[in-house]
Amino acid sequence: MTTSPTQYAHPEALVEADWMEKHLNDEGVRIIESNEDILLYDTGHIPGAVHIDWRSDLQDQVIRDYISPDKFSELCSRNGITPETTCVFYGDKANWWACYALWAFRLYGHEKVKILNGGRDKWKADGRPMTREVPKYPATNYPVPKKRFDKEIRAFADEALAQSKASKPLIDVRSPGEFKGEITHMAEYPQEGVLRGGHIPGAKSMPWKTATNDDSTFKPAADLAKIYFDQCGLKPGTDTVVYCRIGERSSHTWFVLTYLLGLENVRNYDGSWTEWGNKVGAPIEKGV
Amino acid sequence: MYPPKLEKIIQLFESLPEIERRETLVSYADNAKKQEPRAGEKFVLEDVRKDEECADTVGVYLQVDDEGKAHFRMTLGPEVQTLTRAMTAILCKGLDGRTPEEVLELPSDFVTRIVGAELVRVRSQTIYYVLTRIKGICKVYLDRQRMAEVA
Protein backbone atom coordinates (compact mmCIF):
# COMPACT_ATOMS: atom_id res chain seq x y z
CA MET A 1 0.00 0.00 0.00
CA THR A 2 1.39 3.39 -1.00
CA THR A 3 0.63 6.56 0.94
CA SER A 4 -2.34 8.28 -0.62
CA PRO A 5 -1.24 11.57 -2.23
CA THR A 6 -3.38 14.64 -1.68
CA GLN A 7 -2.32 16.35 -4.86
CA TYR A 8 -0.82 15.57 -8.26
CA ALA A 9 2.94 15.11 -8.37
CA HIS A 10 3.24 17.81 -11.04
CA PRO A 11 0.11 19.94 -10.67
CA GLU A 12 1.62 22.53 -13.01
CA ALA A 13 1.20 20.06 -15.91
CA LEU A 14 -2.60 20.23 -15.72
CA VAL A 15 -4.54 23.45 -16.24
CA GLU A 16 -8.19 24.18 -15.72
CA ALA A 17 -10.38 26.12 -18.13
CA ASP A 18 -10.38 29.28 -15.98
CA TRP A 19 -6.58 29.39 -16.16
CA MET A 20 -6.75 28.80 -19.89
CA GLU A 21 -9.19 31.67 -20.44
CA LYS A 22 -6.89 34.03 -18.58
CA HIS A 23 -3.95 33.01 -20.80
CA LEU A 24 -5.61 33.11 -24.22
CA ASN A 25 -3.46 36.09 -25.21
CA ASP A 26 -0.36 35.15 -23.26
CA GLU A 27 2.58 35.41 -25.66
CA GLY A 28 4.47 32.78 -23.70
CA VAL A 29 1.70 30.24 -24.14
CA ARG A 30 0.77 28.36 -27.29
CA ILE A 31 -2.53 26.47 -27.23
CA ILE A 32 -2.41 23.34 -29.36
CA GLU A 33 -5.45 21.31 -30.45
CA SER A 34 -4.89 17.67 -31.44
CA ASN A 35 -7.85 15.51 -32.41
CA GLU A 36 -8.90 12.20 -33.80
CA ASP A 37 -11.49 14.02 -35.97
CA ILE A 38 -9.26 15.67 -38.54
CA LEU A 39 -11.72 18.46 -39.43
CA LEU A 40 -12.87 19.21 -35.89
CA TYR A 41 -10.44 22.11 -35.43
CA ASP A 42 -11.88 23.72 -38.57
CA THR A 43 -15.39 23.63 -37.08
CA GLY A 44 -14.25 25.82 -34.16
CA HIS A 45 -11.47 25.89 -31.58
CA ILE A 46 -10.22 27.81 -28.56
CA PRO A 47 -9.28 31.33 -29.67
CA GLY A 48 -5.61 31.48 -30.56
CA ALA A 49 -5.19 27.68 -30.71
CA VAL A 50 -3.12 26.12 -33.48
CA HIS A 51 -3.81 22.68 -34.93
CA ILE A 52 -1.26 19.86 -34.84
CA ASP A 53 -2.38 16.58 -36.37
CA TRP A 54 -0.96 13.38 -34.89
CA ARG A 55 -0.54 11.80 -38.26
CA SER A 56 0.30 14.47 -40.82
CA ASP A 57 2.34 16.70 -38.48
CA LEU A 58 3.96 14.39 -35.92
CA GLN A 59 4.52 11.17 -37.84
CA ASP A 60 7.01 10.48 -40.59
CA GLN A 61 5.04 10.10 -43.79
CA VAL A 62 6.97 7.11 -45.11
CA ILE A 63 8.20 4.86 -42.32
CA ARG A 64 6.32 4.15 -39.09
CA ASP A 65 8.11 6.60 -36.84
CA TYR A 66 8.00 10.20 -35.70
CA ILE A 67 9.28 13.16 -37.65
CA SER A 68 12.97 13.89 -37.64
CA PRO A 69 14.32 16.55 -35.23
CA ASP A 70 14.69 19.08 -38.06
CA LYS A 71 11.03 18.57 -39.04
CA PHE A 72 10.06 19.10 -35.41
CA SER A 73 12.03 22.33 -35.47
CA GLU A 74 10.09 23.39 -38.60
CA LEU A 75 6.76 22.42 -37.04
CA CYS A 76 7.44 24.50 -33.92
CA SER A 77 8.90 27.42 -35.86
CA ARG A 78 5.89 27.77 -38.16
CA ASN A 79 3.56 27.71 -35.15
CA GLY A 80 5.51 30.42 -33.36
CA ILE A 81 6.85 28.10 -30.68
CA THR A 82 10.23 28.49 -29.00
CA PRO A 83 11.85 26.17 -26.44
CA GLU A 84 10.61 28.61 -23.77
CA THR A 85 6.98 28.50 -24.96
CA THR A 86 4.51 26.78 -22.66
CA CYS A 87 2.50 24.44 -24.88
CA VAL A 88 -0.99 23.65 -23.61
CA PHE A 89 -2.51 20.67 -25.40
CA TYR A 90 -6.19 19.81 -25.64
CA GLY A 91 -8.42 17.84 -27.97
CA ASP A 92 -11.30 15.44 -28.51
CA LYS A 93 -11.69 11.93 -27.10
CA ALA A 94 -10.86 12.95 -23.53
CA ASN A 95 -7.47 14.32 -24.63
CA TRP A 96 -6.09 11.08 -26.13
CA TRP A 97 -4.42 12.88 -29.01
CA ALA A 98 -3.52 15.88 -26.87
CA CYS A 99 -1.58 13.54 -24.57
CA TYR A 100 -0.09 11.83 -27.61
CA ALA A 101 1.09 15.19 -29.00
CA LEU A 102 2.42 16.19 -25.59
CA TRP A 103 4.33 12.92 -25.36
CA ALA A 104 5.72 13.50 -28.88
CA PHE A 105 6.84 17.00 -27.89
CA ARG A 106 8.61 15.44 -24.90
CA LEU A 107 10.35 13.04 -27.31
CA TYR A 108 12.12 16.09 -28.73
CA GLY A 109 12.86 17.46 -25.29
CA HIS A 110 10.29 20.25 -25.17
CA GLU A 111 9.82 20.68 -21.44
CA LYS A 112 7.09 23.25 -20.90
CA VAL A 113 3.99 21.19 -21.59
CA LYS A 114 0.52 21.12 -20.05
CA ILE A 115 -2.85 19.47 -20.63
CA LEU A 116 -6.18 21.29 -20.47
CA ASN A 117 -8.22 19.24 -18.02
CA GLY A 118 -11.39 17.89 -19.64
CA GLY A 119 -10.20 18.71 -23.14
CA ARG A 120 -12.24 20.09 -25.97
CA ASP A 121 -15.57 18.52 -25.05
CA LYS A 122 -15.66 20.01 -21.56
CA TRP A 123 -14.50 23.41 -22.81
CA LYS A 124 -17.33 23.44 -25.35
CA ALA A 125 -19.93 21.97 -22.98
CA ASP A 126 -19.13 24.70 -20.45
CA GLY A 127 -19.91 27.36 -23.05
CA ARG A 128 -16.36 28.70 -23.22
CA PRO A 129 -15.35 30.82 -26.25
CA MET A 130 -14.75 29.11 -29.59
CA THR A 131 -13.78 30.59 -32.93
CA ARG A 132 -13.13 29.53 -36.51
CA GLU A 133 -10.48 32.17 -36.95
CA VAL A 134 -7.11 30.55 -37.63
CA PRO A 135 -4.35 32.47 -35.82
CA LYS A 136 -1.11 33.42 -37.48
CA TYR A 137 1.97 33.79 -35.31
CA PRO A 138 5.33 35.21 -36.32
CA ALA A 139 7.65 32.35 -37.24
CA THR A 140 10.31 31.49 -34.73
CA ASN A 141 13.63 29.78 -35.11
CA TYR A 142 13.21 26.69 -32.93
CA PRO A 143 16.63 25.04 -32.70
CA VAL A 144 16.85 21.51 -34.08
CA PRO A 145 16.75 19.20 -31.05
CA LYS A 146 20.11 17.49 -30.58
CA LYS A 147 18.51 14.21 -29.58
CA ARG A 148 15.22 12.42 -29.37
CA PHE A 149 14.33 11.02 -25.97
CA ASP A 150 13.23 7.62 -27.27
CA LYS A 151 15.32 5.79 -24.72
CA GLU A 152 13.75 7.66 -21.82
CA ILE A 153 10.02 7.69 -22.63
CA ARG A 154 9.49 5.32 -25.54
CA ALA A 155 9.59 1.54 -25.63
CA PHE A 156 10.14 -0.60 -28.71
CA ALA A 157 8.92 -4.17 -29.27
CA ASP A 158 12.16 -5.79 -28.07
CA GLU A 159 12.04 -3.71 -24.91
CA ALA A 160 8.41 -4.64 -24.30
CA LEU A 161 9.42 -8.29 -24.73
CA ALA A 162 12.28 -7.85 -22.25
CA GLN A 163 9.83 -6.21 -19.85
CA SER A 164 7.52 -9.20 -20.21
CA LYS A 165 10.30 -11.77 -19.72
CA ALA A 166 11.60 -9.93 -16.64
CA SER A 167 8.07 -9.78 -15.17
CA LYS A 168 8.36 -6.01 -14.90
CA PRO A 169 5.22 -3.85 -15.01
CA LEU A 170 3.40 -3.78 -18.33
CA ILE A 171 0.07 -1.99 -18.39
CA ASP A 172 -2.38 -2.71 -21.19
CA VAL A 173 -4.76 0.26 -21.34
CA ARG A 174 -7.10 -1.09 -24.03
CA SER A 175 -10.67 -2.19 -23.43
CA PRO A 176 -11.22 -5.52 -21.62
CA GLY A 177 -12.39 -7.16 -24.87
CA GLU A 178 -9.17 -6.21 -26.62
CA PHE A 179 -7.08 -7.40 -23.67
CA LYS A 180 -8.81 -10.78 -23.60
CA GLY A 181 -8.32 -11.20 -27.34
CA GLU A 182 -12.03 -11.23 -28.13
CA ILE A 183 -11.61 -8.23 -30.43
CA THR A 184 -8.56 -6.57 -31.97
CA HIS A 185 -9.78 -2.97 -31.95
CA MET A 186 -12.16 -0.77 -30.00
CA ALA A 187 -15.79 -1.67 -30.57
CA GLU A 188 -16.61 1.38 -32.67
CA TYR A 189 -13.33 1.56 -34.57
CA PRO A 190 -12.20 0.10 -37.87
CA GLN A 191 -10.18 -3.06 -37.90
CA GLU A 192 -6.70 -1.96 -38.90
CA GLY A 193 -5.24 -5.24 -39.92
CA VAL A 194 -4.11 -6.93 -36.71
CA LEU A 195 -3.79 -10.68 -37.22
CA ARG A 196 -3.80 -11.85 -33.61
CA GLY A 197 -5.72 -10.80 -30.50
CA GLY A 198 -4.72 -10.94 -26.84
CA HIS A 199 -2.10 -9.19 -24.77
CA ILE A 200 1.62 -9.24 -24.01
CA PRO A 201 2.30 -11.99 -21.45
CA GLY A 202 2.31 -10.63 -17.94
CA ALA A 203 0.55 -7.38 -18.83
CA LYS A 204 -2.08 -6.08 -16.46
CA SER A 205 -5.32 -4.70 -17.82
CA MET A 206 -6.18 -1.19 -16.72
CA PRO A 207 -8.25 0.62 -19.35
CA TRP A 208 -7.22 4.26 -19.85
CA LYS A 209 -10.72 5.43 -18.96
CA THR A 210 -10.27 4.26 -15.38
CA ALA A 211 -8.23 7.43 -14.83
CA THR A 212 -10.97 9.85 -15.87
CA ASN A 213 -14.29 11.15 -14.65
CA ASP A 214 -17.38 11.20 -16.86
CA ASP A 215 -16.60 14.74 -18.02
CA SER A 216 -13.14 13.61 -19.24
CA THR A 217 -11.29 15.36 -16.41
CA PHE A 218 -8.67 13.37 -14.53
CA LYS A 219 -9.58 11.71 -11.24
CA PRO A 220 -8.03 13.09 -8.03
CA ALA A 221 -4.52 12.01 -7.10
CA ALA A 222 -5.70 9.73 -4.29
CA ASP A 223 -8.01 7.82 -6.66
CA LEU A 224 -5.26 7.50 -9.27
CA ALA A 225 -2.87 6.21 -6.62
CA LYS A 226 -5.36 3.50 -5.61
CA ILE A 227 -5.76 2.44 -9.24
CA TYR A 228 -2.14 2.36 -10.30
CA PHE A 229 -0.23 1.80 -7.04
CA ASP A 230 -2.63 -0.48 -5.18
CA GLN A 231 -4.46 -2.29 -8.00
CA CYS A 232 -1.68 -2.40 -10.62
CA GLY A 233 1.16 -2.66 -8.11
CA LEU A 234 3.27 0.08 -9.69
CA LYS A 235 6.03 1.50 -7.57
CA PRO A 236 8.20 4.60 -7.86
CA GLY A 237 11.55 3.79 -9.41
CA THR A 238 10.37 0.67 -11.22
CA ASP A 239 10.45 0.60 -15.03
CA THR A 240 6.91 0.61 -16.41
CA VAL A 241 5.77 0.16 -20.00
CA VAL A 242 2.28 1.13 -21.17
CA TYR A 243 0.69 0.21 -24.47
CA CYS A 244 -2.63 0.15 -26.33
CA ARG A 245 -3.39 -0.30 -30.03
CA ILE A 246 -1.52 2.54 -31.74
CA GLY A 247 -0.11 4.50 -28.81
CA GLU A 248 -2.68 7.22 -28.24
CA ARG A 249 -4.62 5.78 -25.30
CA SER A 250 -1.37 4.70 -23.70
CA SER A 251 -0.09 8.29 -24.06
CA HIS A 252 -3.04 9.29 -21.87
CA THR A 253 -1.98 6.77 -19.21
CA TRP A 254 1.68 7.74 -19.66
CA PHE A 255 0.68 11.33 -18.81
CA VAL A 256 -1.22 10.16 -15.72
CA LEU A 257 1.67 8.05 -14.44
CA THR A 258 4.41 10.53 -15.29
CA TYR A 259 2.87 13.89 -14.47
CA LEU A 260 -0.03 13.22 -12.12
CA LEU A 261 1.52 10.40 -10.09
CA GLY A 262 5.16 11.37 -10.60
CA LEU A 263 6.58 8.00 -11.72
CA GLU A 264 9.93 8.58 -13.37
CA ASN A 265 10.55 5.53 -15.51
CA VAL A 266 7.44 5.17 -17.61
CA ARG A 267 7.76 4.43 -21.31
CA ASN A 268 5.07 4.36 -23.96
CA TYR A 269 5.25 1.38 -26.32
CA ASP A 270 3.68 3.25 -29.24
CA GLY A 271 4.08 0.35 -31.67
CA SER A 272 1.48 -1.22 -29.39
CA TRP A 273 -0.91 -3.95 -30.48
CA THR A 274 -0.85 -3.07 -34.19
CA GLU A 275 2.81 -4.10 -34.08
CA TRP A 276 2.75 -6.86 -31.46
CA GLY A 277 -0.35 -8.59 -32.83
CA ASN A 278 1.26 -8.83 -36.27
CA LYS A 279 4.79 -9.67 -35.19
CA VAL A 280 5.87 -13.17 -36.17
CA GLY A 281 6.73 -15.21 -33.11
CA ALA A 282 5.67 -12.60 -30.56
CA PRO A 283 4.33 -14.37 -27.45
CA ILE A 284 0.66 -13.70 -26.70
CA GLU A 285 -1.63 -14.46 -23.79
CA LYS A 286 -5.38 -14.59 -24.18
CA GLY A 287 -8.20 -14.32 -21.68
CA VAL A 288 -8.11 -12.64 -18.30
CA MET B 1 -20.99 9.24 -65.66
CA TYR B 2 -22.14 10.66 -62.31
CA PRO B 3 -25.58 12.08 -61.50
CA PRO B 4 -25.62 15.77 -62.55
CA LYS B 5 -26.08 17.09 -58.99
CA LEU B 6 -23.18 14.99 -57.76
CA GLU B 7 -21.01 15.89 -60.75
CA LYS B 8 -21.51 19.57 -59.95
CA ILE B 9 -20.36 19.01 -56.37
CA ILE B 10 -17.33 16.98 -57.52
CA GLN B 11 -16.31 19.74 -59.94
CA LEU B 12 -16.68 22.35 -57.23
CA PHE B 13 -14.38 20.47 -54.86
CA GLU B 14 -11.83 19.72 -57.57
CA SER B 15 -11.58 23.41 -58.36
CA LEU B 16 -10.74 24.37 -54.79
CA PRO B 17 -7.30 24.71 -53.19
CA GLU B 18 -6.79 22.54 -50.11
CA ILE B 19 -7.72 25.15 -47.50
CA GLU B 20 -10.95 26.08 -49.28
CA ARG B 21 -11.73 22.41 -49.85
CA ARG B 22 -11.58 21.88 -46.08
CA GLU B 23 -13.70 24.96 -45.44
CA THR B 24 -16.29 23.71 -47.90
CA LEU B 25 -16.31 20.26 -46.28
CA VAL B 26 -16.89 21.91 -42.91
CA SER B 27 -19.67 24.00 -44.45
CA TYR B 28 -21.35 20.84 -45.74
CA ALA B 29 -20.85 19.23 -42.33
CA ASP B 30 -22.60 22.21 -40.73
CA ASN B 31 -25.58 21.50 -42.96
CA ALA B 32 -25.79 17.77 -42.26
CA LYS B 33 -28.59 18.31 -39.75
CA LYS B 34 -30.79 19.56 -42.59
CA GLN B 35 -30.80 16.01 -43.97
CA GLU B 36 -32.73 14.66 -40.96
CA PRO B 37 -36.26 13.29 -41.52
CA ARG B 38 -38.94 15.93 -41.30
CA ALA B 39 -42.23 15.66 -39.44
CA GLY B 40 -44.77 13.61 -41.37
CA GLU B 41 -42.33 12.11 -43.87
CA LYS B 42 -42.82 8.43 -44.60
CA PHE B 43 -40.10 6.03 -45.68
CA VAL B 44 -40.05 2.64 -47.37
CA LEU B 45 -36.95 1.64 -45.42
CA GLU B 46 -35.19 2.83 -42.29
CA ASP B 47 -31.76 1.58 -41.25
CA VAL B 48 -30.55 3.00 -37.93
CA ARG B 49 -27.53 1.36 -36.40
CA LYS B 50 -24.09 1.78 -34.92
CA ASP B 51 -21.36 0.06 -36.90
CA GLU B 52 -17.79 -0.71 -35.98
CA GLU B 53 -16.69 1.60 -38.79
CA CYS B 54 -18.31 4.69 -37.29
CA ALA B 55 -17.95 6.42 -33.93
CA ASP B 56 -21.69 6.82 -33.33
CA THR B 57 -25.14 5.82 -34.55
CA VAL B 58 -26.03 6.66 -38.13
CA GLY B 59 -29.56 6.36 -39.50
CA VAL B 60 -30.39 6.13 -43.21
CA TYR B 61 -33.98 6.63 -44.38
CA LEU B 62 -35.10 5.83 -47.92
CA GLN B 63 -38.09 7.20 -49.71
CA VAL B 64 -38.90 6.10 -53.29
CA ASP B 65 -41.43 8.26 -55.12
CA ASP B 66 -44.01 7.25 -57.75
CA GLU B 67 -41.43 7.64 -60.52
CA GLY B 68 -39.06 5.24 -58.78
CA LYS B 69 -36.65 7.99 -57.71
CA ALA B 70 -34.88 7.73 -54.39
CA HIS B 71 -34.69 10.42 -51.72
CA PHE B 72 -32.50 10.04 -48.65
CA ARG B 73 -32.62 11.38 -45.11
CA MET B 74 -30.00 10.71 -42.46
CA THR B 75 -29.55 11.09 -38.73
CA LEU B 76 -26.12 11.32 -37.09
CA GLY B 77 -25.17 10.77 -33.46
CA PRO B 78 -23.18 13.51 -31.70
CA GLU B 79 -19.88 11.60 -31.89
CA VAL B 80 -19.97 11.19 -35.68
CA GLN B 81 -16.87 12.77 -37.19
CA THR B 82 -16.88 15.95 -39.25
CA LEU B 83 -15.83 14.22 -42.47
CA THR B 84 -18.73 11.77 -42.16
CA ARG B 85 -21.12 14.67 -41.54
CA ALA B 86 -19.83 16.40 -44.66
CA MET B 87 -20.25 13.26 -46.79
CA THR B 88 -23.79 12.89 -45.45
CA ALA B 89 -24.81 16.34 -46.68
CA ILE B 90 -22.98 15.88 -49.99
CA LEU B 91 -24.45 12.48 -50.81
CA CYS B 92 -28.02 13.22 -49.71
CA LYS B 93 -27.93 16.21 -52.04
CA GLY B 94 -25.88 14.68 -54.85
CA LEU B 95 -27.82 11.42 -55.10
CA ASP B 96 -31.28 12.87 -54.61
CA GLY B 97 -33.66 11.86 -57.38
CA ARG B 98 -31.65 8.94 -58.78
CA THR B 99 -33.09 5.45 -58.89
CA PRO B 100 -31.87 2.89 -56.32
CA GLU B 101 -30.32 0.93 -59.23
CA GLU B 102 -28.32 3.98 -60.31
CA VAL B 103 -27.10 4.57 -56.77
CA LEU B 104 -26.05 0.95 -56.40
CA GLU B 105 -24.08 1.03 -59.65
CA LEU B 106 -22.29 4.25 -58.80
CA PRO B 107 -18.50 3.78 -58.69
CA SER B 108 -17.00 5.04 -55.44
CA ASP B 109 -13.93 6.73 -56.93
CA PHE B 110 -15.57 10.16 -56.78
CA VAL B 111 -15.23 10.21 -52.99
CA THR B 112 -11.49 10.78 -53.16
CA ARG B 113 -12.03 13.57 -55.70
CA ILE B 114 -14.26 15.36 -53.22
CA VAL B 115 -12.25 14.74 -50.07
CA GLY B 116 -8.84 15.29 -51.65
CA ALA B 117 -5.65 13.25 -51.56
CA GLU B 118 -4.39 14.62 -48.24
CA LEU B 119 -7.46 13.72 -46.19
CA VAL B 120 -7.75 10.37 -47.96
CA ARG B 121 -4.18 9.57 -47.01
CA VAL B 122 -4.54 10.34 -43.32
CA ARG B 123 -8.13 9.20 -42.69
CA SER B 124 -8.92 6.74 -45.45
CA GLN B 125 -10.94 4.44 -43.18
CA THR B 126 -13.83 6.88 -42.73
CA ILE B 127 -14.52 8.46 -46.10
CA TYR B 128 -16.53 5.67 -47.76
CA TYR B 129 -18.80 4.91 -44.81
CA VAL B 130 -21.80 7.06 -45.78
CA LEU B 131 -21.77 5.89 -49.40
CA THR B 132 -21.63 2.28 -48.22
CA ARG B 133 -24.65 2.83 -45.96
CA ILE B 134 -26.66 4.56 -48.72
CA LYS B 135 -25.82 1.80 -51.19
CA GLY B 136 -26.72 -0.75 -48.51
CA ILE B 137 -30.25 0.55 -48.04
CA CYS B 138 -30.73 0.71 -51.82
CA LYS B 139 -29.64 -2.92 -52.12
CA VAL B 140 -32.09 -4.05 -49.44
CA TYR B 141 -34.86 -2.11 -51.19
CA LEU B 142 -34.08 -3.72 -54.57
CA ASP B 143 -33.76 -7.20 -53.05
CA ARG B 144 -37.19 -6.83 -51.48
CA GLN B 145 -38.66 -5.59 -54.74
CA ARG B 146 -37.29 -8.64 -56.54
CA MET B 147 -38.57 -11.00 -53.86
CA ALA B 148 -42.01 -9.40 -54.06
CA GLU B 149 -42.02 -9.84 -57.85
CA VAL B 150 -41.10 -13.52 -57.53
CA ALA B 151 -43.78 -14.08 -54.89
Residues A143 and A88 placed together within one structural domain of the fold: yes
Q: Is residue A284 situated within a structural domain?
A: no
Across the interface, whether the CB atoms of A43 and B26 are under 8 A apart is answered yes
The full DSSP string for chain A is -PPPPSS-SSGGGEE-HHHHHHTTT-TTEEEEE--SSTTTGGG-BSTT-EE--TTTTTB-SSSSSBPPHHHHHHHHHHTT--TTPEEEEE-SGGGHHHHHHHHHHHHTT---EEEETTHHHHHHHTT---B-PPP------PPPPS---HHHHB--HHHHHHHHHTT--EEE-S-HHHHHTS-SS-TTS--------SB-TTPEE--GGGGB-TTSPBPPHHHHHIIIIIIS---TTS-EEEE-SSSHHHHHHHHIIIIIS--S-EEEETTHHHHHTTSTT---B---
Whether B6 has its CB under 8 Å from any CB of chain A: the answer is no
Q: Spell out the per-residue pLDDT of chain A, length 288, in tens.
A: 456 788 999 999 999 999 999 999 999 999 999 999 999 999 999 999 999 999 999 999 999 999 999 999 999 999 999 999 999 999 999 999 999 999 999 999 999 999 999 999 999 999 999 999 999 999 999 999 999 999 999 999 999 999 999 999 999 999 999 999 988 766 556 556 788 999 999 999 999 999 999 999 999 999 999 999 999 999 998 999 999 999 999 999 999 999 999 999 999 999 999 999 999 999 999 998
Whether B49 has its CB under 8 Å from any CB of chain A: the answer is no
Residues A52 and A132 placed together within one structural domain of the fold: yes
Residues A84 and A125 placed together within one structural domain of the fold: yes
Domain-terminating residue out of A119, A148, A177: A148
Residues A230 and A143 placed together within one structural domain of the fold: no
Across the interface, whether the CB atoms of A188 and B122 are under 8 A apart is answered no
What is the assigned CATH class of domain B4-38+47-150?
alpha beta
In chain B, which residues have pLDDT < 70?
52-54, 124-125
User: With pLDDT > 70 as the criterion, what percentage of chain A qualifies?
Assistant: 96
Nearest CA to CA, how far is B141 from chain A (Å)? 26
Across the interface, whether the CB atoms of B25 and A190 are under 8 A apart is answered no
Q: Is residue A285 situated within a structural domain?
A: no
- Output the pLDDT for position B52: 65
Whether A190 has its CB under 8 Å from any CB of chain B: the answer is yes
Across the interface, whether the CB atoms of A188 and B86 are under 8 A apart is answered no
Q: For residue A87, indicate whether it is catalytic.
A: no
Residues A21 and A65 placed together within one structural domain of the fold: yes
Q: What's the pLDDT tens digit per position in A216-234? A: 999 999 999 999 999 999 9
Residues A102 and A195 placed together within one structural domain of the fold: no
Query: What is the domain count for chain A?
Result: 2
Domain-terminating residue out of A148, A177, A198: A148
- Output the pLDDT for position A9: 97
Q: Is residue A155 situated within a structural domain?
A: yes
Q: Is residue A240 situated within a structural domain?
A: yes
Q: Is residue A1 situated within a structural domain?
A: no
Residues A115 and A233 placed together within one structural domain of the fold: no
Residue A177: domain span: 151-276
What is the ipTM metric for this complex?
A: 0.84
Across the interface, whether the CB atoms of A39 and B83 are under 8 A apart is answered yes
Identified catalytic residue from A76, A87, A232, A244: A244
Q: Is residue A5 situated within a structural domain?
A: no
Q: What's the pLDDT tens digit per position in A34-46? A: 999 999 999 999 9
Residues A252 and A130 placed together within one structural domain of the fold: no
Residues A134 and A180 placed together within one structural domain of the fold: no
- Indicate the domain borders of chain B: 4-38+47-150
User: With pLDDT > 90 as the criterion, what percentage of chain A qualifies?
Assistant: 92
Q: Which of B26, B29, B50 sits opposite A188 (nearest CB)?
A: B50
Q: Which of B23, B51, B122 sits opposite A56 (nearest CB)?
A: B122
Q: What's the pLDDT tens digit per position in B93-109? A: 999 999 999 999 999 89
Residue A25: CATH number of its domain: 3.40.250.10
Q: Is residue A3 situated within a structural domain?
A: no
Domain-terminating residue out of A123, A148, A173: A148
pTM of the complete model: 0.91
